[in-house]
């Protein structure tokens, strides 16, 4: 299998979502979520199309009846297609992240992204526990 191993379909179905961090071609981080879709899974960028609200902040995405629910305005996105037909995000579709399932294991196979780590962007272990910027002066 070509791609990076993420987790198992069983884990996604048991936990209802699985949060991970990816990097784009420029090395910029972004978050994605795996969500149950019928017998398999789908992967979406972890934010609403309306106001960039994160679906999963580290405690799992709110999902009901096959719909990912935006916690800010309640727009609901189909977990299989990413399409929203209601609320503030109506007539939009979540940006997808390419994954493949083989023998119950989910692999990141999207050429536009590389796997950084499981969890949120800010969950990454930094070797230096100091500030990421030297400019902490307020005016």
Q: Which domains does the chain have, with CATH numbers?
A: 4-121 (2.102.10.10)
Alpha carbons 62 and 57: distance in angstroms, whole number = 10
Tell me, what's the pLDDT at 88? 93
Tell me, what's the pLDDT at 39? 85
24 DSSP assignment: -
Tell me, what's the pLDDT at 124? 62
Mean pLDDT of 47-71: 95
Which helix H or strand E contains 87, and what residues bound it?
none
Is the pLDDT assigned to residue 76 strictly greater than 50?
Answer: yes
Q: Among 1-10, 34-43, 101-110, which stretch is predicted with the lowest mean pLDDT? A: 1-10
Among 47, 55, 43, which Cα is nearest to 12's? Answer: 43
What is the SS3 assignment for 64?
strand
117 DSSP assignment: E
Tell me, what's the pLDDT at 137? 41
Place of tokens 């962007």: 121
Percent of the chain with pLDDT over 90: 83
What is the reported pTM?
A: 0.86
Mean pLDDT of 72-99: 96
The residue among 136 and 31 whose pLDDT is bigger is: 31
């Amino acid at each position: 299998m070509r791609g990076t191993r993420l987790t198992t379909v069983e884990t996604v179905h048991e936990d209802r979502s699985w949060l991970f961090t990816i990097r784009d071609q420029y090395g910029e981080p972004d978050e994605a979520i795996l969500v149950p879709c019928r017998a398999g899974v789908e992967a979406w960028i972890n934010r609403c199309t309306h106001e960039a609200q994160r679906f999963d902040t580290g405690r799992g995405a709110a999902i009901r009846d096959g719909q990912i629910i935006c916690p800010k305005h309640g727009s609901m996105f189909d977990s299989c297609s990413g399409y929203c037909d209601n609320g503030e995000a109506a007539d939009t579709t979540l940006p997808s992240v390419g994954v493949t399932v083989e023998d119950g294991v989910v692999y990141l196979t999207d050429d536009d992204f590389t796997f950084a780590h499981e969890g949120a962007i800010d969950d990454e272990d930094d070797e230096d526990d100091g500030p990421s910027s030297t400019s902490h002066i307020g005016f």
